[in-house]
Amino acid sequence: MAKVLDKFLLFLLSLIVLIAALIALFAAFGWVSLGSTKQFAEHVYEDFNYAIPFIVTSAVAGLLALRFLYVSVRRGKSSVPSIDQRTEFGDIRISLDTVENLSLKAASRSRGVRDLRARVKVNQAGLEIVIRAIVDGETPIPGLTEEMQANVKGHIEEITGIPVAFVSVFIANIQQSAPTFKSRVE
Q: What is the DSSP string of 103-140?
A: HHHHHTTSTTEEEEEEEEEEETTEEEEEEEEEE-SSS-
Would you state the pLDDT for residue 75? 66
Average pLDDT across each block of 10 residues of the chain; the chain has 186 residues. List them in order.
Answer: 78 87 87 86 87 88 86 68 83 90 92 90 90 89 92 93 91 75 61
Q: What is residue 165's three-state secondary structure?
A: strand
Would you state the pLDDT for residue 149? 93
Would you state the pLDDT for residue 86? 83
Would you state the pLDDT for residue 98? 92
Residue 22's nearest CA partner among 14, 39, 42 is 14
Would you state the pLDDT for residue 151? 93
Domains, the chain, ordered by start: 2-73 (no CATH), 82-174 (3.30.70.1350)
